[in-house]
Amino acid sequence: MAPDAVIDREQTAAWAAAPVLPGPVAGQASPGAVPSNHGGGITLEDVTVSYKGITVLERLSLDVRPGEIMAIIGPSGSGKTTALRAVAGFVRPTSGRIRIGERDVTDLPPAVRDIGMVVQNYALFPHMRVDENVAFGLRARREANEAVRAQVAACLRMVGMEGYARRYPRELSGGQQQRIAIARALAIRPRVLLLDEPLSALDAQIRRSMLDELARLHRDLPSLTVLYVTHDQTEALTLADRIAIMRGGRLIAFGESQAIYRAPPNRFAAEFLGHANLLPVTLEAPDAEHGLARARFGASTLLAASPHGLLPGQGCLLCIRQHDITLRPAEGPANTLAGIVRAVRWQGDLHSILLDVEGCQLRLSCTPLREPPAVGAVAQVHFAAADASLIPEEAAGNG
Amino acid sequence: MASVSVPMGQRIRFDMRNVWIAPPLLILAVLFFYPLSLIAGVSLAGGGHSISLSHYTAVLGSALFRNALLHTIGIALASSAGCLALGFTLSLILSFVPFPGARILARLIDTFIALPTFLVALAFTFIYGSAGVLNESLMRLLHLPLAPVDFLYSPWGVILAEVTVYTPFVMRPLLAAFSLIEQAQIEVACGLGAGPFRVIRQIILPAAIPALLAGGSLCLLLTVNEFGIVLFIGAKGVITLPLLVYDKAIQEFDYPTACVIAVVNVALSLSLYSLYRMIMSRFGGARAGLV
């Protein structure tokens, strides 16, 4: 394995400052050259993709800002990879338009879209050495040999793999192969970087390390627009500025990562992103205290944020994250619930406790307890009103 | 600490399983090695009782033999090259160009392998022969007194027939090799700016080299020994080694000469087979199953 600190800041600066592709070298324009491409965002306008009458992506509209990391997450078959492949040009939309920067690329082949792509299984060319892999895109764009050599060296240094240039992919570990795949994608200085589950094939430890490296890489290449497809919410929350959640080919939720995590717009988003607790409540007063809404849960009255314009009397769900619930009740009766402990699980760095509160399951996680409650005991829990939010009962509509 | 004892003075034990090698060896000896030794014996005796290489010198020095050897190698090389080119192109289309029926077509190719070789030669006679569909149509259409298309009775006819018959032998390993190429590799290459020809040249072709070498050497081996097509087409002046053996043995009853040519043909075939095995072992391991 390469050393942990693999992203070379000097090299990333050199990468960003170097002439943009596909001009062969600085000052030499090649016929058909695409102009400078940094800072290009991605826009999907009502993109629908159907195969043999089956719609796998339905009227998806997304706007990835220049220099932003946007994560598309969702379960298998949600259409997230189809959306990414449509941007890459490997899937032709049945309807809708796709723009990269100002350019409409809907009808353009992948080769001229100016994209870098990293996929789950790296897709390194097995018969080429590491440096030849990284140079592939530059050679395809007919860059001069000298420029290719310089760029390959810079990219390999950038991912901490300069000592592996003459190796074959089969001689590298999974993490190293992924670094080469990233270097290969970045070597062409693409307008956008498309990452399709890039860390899924790695084990947990290397995945965490690669996640840090990707975050650092983007900090050093702030003009790079990244579309990141994953089913792993941790990857999405760690890296992405904004998150789009998909299900069944449709966009279910979309917004700033923290906002969508703190106040998910619907049940699916709340459950998929962070496995939130959802309690069925009835809204009593939408703006009871300090902008918080009052809701009834059985015999209890709970306070929570209500960002989705719910009406009094409306049945809705109170969403509260596991880590926002404390086992010992705070002072005062507000947002305090009593439940029967159904399960207690020690998971090393935390305790996970499952409670039955008026027939509903409530899971909380906390730092390991010296004296965890016994199963069957009655426990009181509390959460802050600002940490809870009310969401519509129906899981429908975009966020 | 536990000690490990090593038995001293091990005796070679008779393993009953070794007995099972005897029946296949016996069958091989009776059906293959004995007839082969008879042919080798006749080729060395030259019709007499004393063994010498004089008959070999005479046969190998004859213009007829040299001509047959050149024809055999030339036709085999040209046919194999044709098979490789056509097989690679067709396999590319079947594997990477999605169209309805591609899978059925790929399976149909297997049935070609099962057909007798002369069948294609017979079909070609009906199509391209002097009285074939093509010539009759052209003669009627253009009011020609003679058949305008007569390539069938030349080495080109033999080559075309052999290419038709043996291309599936190249396609089978190629299709298997192509099925192992990650689609993602091709997509990434396209995304990096590579056009179709660069993708074929730099991504697909290197992955297909073991299959091409194996398929090509197998074609070479089969076309060197091809008899039915050459005989059936009866191309003017096209005498190959198997056909020369047939002429000498069956038509002229010159068994010693036929045996010398047969021995040379066998040596040539075994050399090509060794080449085929060498390629298989060179590109063995995980890819051995492909070839």
Residue B159 is part of which domain span? 53-288
Structure tokens at A196: 């399709």
Instruction: State how far the Cα of A202 lies from the Cα of A208, in Å rounded to an integer.
Output: 9
φ, ψ at A2 (rounded to 5°): -75, 160
The angle formed by the CA atoms of residues A27, A31 and A35, to the nearest 5 degrees, is 60
pLDDT, tens digit (0-9, with 9 covering 90-100), for B232-267: 887 777 889 999 999 888 888 888 889 999 999 999
Instruction: State how far the Cα of A339 lies from the Cα of A351, in Å rounded to an integer.
Output: 17
DSSP code at position A175: H
Sorted by sequence, the CB contacts under 8 Å of residue B99 that are 6+ apart come out as none
Residues of B in Cβ contact (< 8 Å) with A111: 190-195
Instruction: State how far the Cα of A133 lies from the Cα of B185, in Å rounded to an integer.
Output: 11
Please tell me whether the peptide bond between A22 and the residue prior to it is cis, using omega within 30 degrees of 0.
Answer: yes
* B190 in contact with A, Cβ within 8 Å: yes
Q: What pLDDT was estimated at residue B88?
A: 95
pLDDT, tens digit (0-9, with 9 covering 90-100), for B84-121: 999 999 999 999 887 888 888 878 887 777 788 888 88
Domain membership of residue B9 (yes or no) is: no
Domain membership of residue B26 (yes or no) is: no
* B281 in contact with A, Cβ within 8 Å: no
The angle formed by the CA atoms of residues A172, A187 and A122, to the nearest 5 degrees, is 35
The angle formed by the CA atoms of residues B258, B259 and B261, to the nearest 5 degrees, is 65
Residue-wise DSSP of A274-334: T--EEEEEEEEEEEEETTEEEEEETTEEEEEB-TT-PPTT-EEEEEE-GGGEESS--SSST
Chain centre to alpha carbon of residue A254: 11
For chain B, what percent of residues have pLDDT higher than 70?
91
pLDDT, tens digit (0-9, with 9 covering 90-100), for A190-232: 889 999 998 888 888 888 888 888 888 888 888 889 999 998 8
Nearest to A77 by CA among A193, A185, A231, A254: A231
Query: Could you tell me if B189 and B183 are in contact, meaning their C-beta atoms sit under 8 angstroms apart?
Result: no
Domain membership of residue B34 (yes or no) is: no
What is the predicted ipTM?
0.76
Domain membership of residue B40 (yes or no) is: no
A201-234: b or e for each residue (b if 16 or more CB lie within 10 Å)?
bbeeebbebbbbbbeebbebbeebbbbbbbbebe
Beta bridge partners of A55: A50
Q: What pLDDT was estimated at residue A195?
A: 94
Strands lying side by side in the sheet with A336-346: A325-326, A378-383, A336-346, A351-357, A360-366
> A110–B198: do the CB atoms touch at under 8 Å?
no
Domain membership of residue B18 (yes or no) is: no
Q: What pLDDT was estimated at residue A332?
A: 65
* B180 in contact with A, Cβ within 8 Å: no
> A117–B203: do the CB atoms touch at under 8 Å?
no
Domain count, chain B: 1
Q: What pLDDT was estimated at residue B107?
A: 80
Instruction: State how far the Cα of A381 lies from the Cα of A324, in Å rounded to an integer.
Output: 10
Domain membership of residue B245 (yes or no) is: yes
> A116–B191: do the CB atoms touch at under 8 Å?
yes
pLDDT, tens digit (0-9, with 9 covering 90-100), for A345-368: 998 889 999 999 999 999 999 998
Q: What's the gap in Å between the CA of B278 and the closest CA on chain A?
A: 21
Task: Give the residue from chain A lying closest to B187, CA to CA.
Answer: A90
Nearest to B159 by CA among B72, B244, B97: B72
> B195–A140: do the CB atoms touch at under 8 Å?
yes
pLDDT band at B56 (very low <50, low <70, confident <90, very high): confident
Instruction: State how far the Cα of A133 lies from the Cα of A138, in Å rounded to an integer.
Output: 10
Q: How many helices (H) and strands (E) does chain B have?
A: 14, 0
Domain membership of residue B135 (yes or no) is: yes
Domain membership of residue B10 (yes or no) is: no
* B205 in contact with A, Cβ within 8 Å: no
CATH of the domain at B82: 1.10.3720.10
DSSP code at position B247: I
Select the more confidently predicted residue: B23 or B14: B23
Q: What's the gap in Å between the CA of B177 and the closest CA on chain A?
A: 14
Question: H helices within A50-90, ranges in order?
Answer: 80-88
pTM of the model: 0.75
Query: Could you tell me if A193 and A185 are in contact, meaning their C-beta atoms sit under 8 angstroms apart?
Result: yes
Count of C-beta atoms within a 10 Å radius of residue A53:
5
Task: Give the residue from chain B lying closest to A120, CA to CA.
Answer: B184
Residues of A in Cβ contact (< 8 Å) with B206: 125, 127
Q: Which of B187, B189, B195 sits opposite A136 (nearest CB)?
A: B189
Using 50 as the pLDDT threshold, list the residues of chain A that sit under it: 1-37, 395-399
pLDDT, tens digit (0-9, with 9 covering 90-100), for B127-137: 888 888 898 89
Residues of B in Cβ contact (< 8 Å) with A184: 188, 192
Q: Which of A117, A127, A141 sits opposite B191 (nearest CB)?
A: A117
The angle formed by the CA atoms of residues B247, B251 and B252, to the nearest 5 degrees, is 90
> A89–B191: do the CB atoms touch at under 8 Å?
yes
